[in-house]
Amino acid sequence: MELLASEGIGRVILTEQAMPTALPVAYAVDNGTIVFRSSAGTKLAAAVKGTVIAFEVDSFDEDERAGWSVVVTGLASVVDDPDDERNATNLRIPHWVEPDGGKFIRLRPSIVSGRRVGPPRAGPPPRKPTL
């Protein structure tokens, strides 16, 4: 969750017409959950239904050949409690495409996985096996 909190753009991964799709969103981490905003459409429809979705964030440094990727899977829900909505507004998630308005969606993680990649190790190349 610490890595997720260090970025602000991620991808919501869900199915649309029985096909996988990944949609970029601005987001914030809030008390162990992921919050993003959506107007009417695929993401909001999934949240209204309480669909299981995935969320992916990564960061890479091409010069260093290092980075990380985190994938979160869990239930999406619409933030509809007035106190939760006020809290989500205070997270200051930037608007991208949606005009003011829309709904906040909260993803409660059930599974969190990821990996780090780093530069190649220094030293001699690995030996070729002999037969």
Write the CB contacts of 77 (distance below 8 Å, at least 6 apart in sequence).
47, 50, 105, 106, 108
Q: In a 3-state reduction of DSSP, which class is residue 3?
A: helix
pTM of the model: 0.83
Domains and CATH numbers, the chain: 2-117 (2.30.110.10)
Tens digit of pLDDT at every position of the chain (131 positions): 899 999 999 999 998 888 898 999 999 999 999 999 888 778 888 888 888 999 999 999 988 889 999 999 999 999 999 999 999 999 989 876 655 568 899 999 999 999 998 876 665 655 656 55
Residue-level pLDDT at 115: 93
Taking the CA of residue 28 as centre, how many other CA atoms within 13 Å lie in the half-sphere pointing to its CB?
13
pLDDT of residue 113: 95
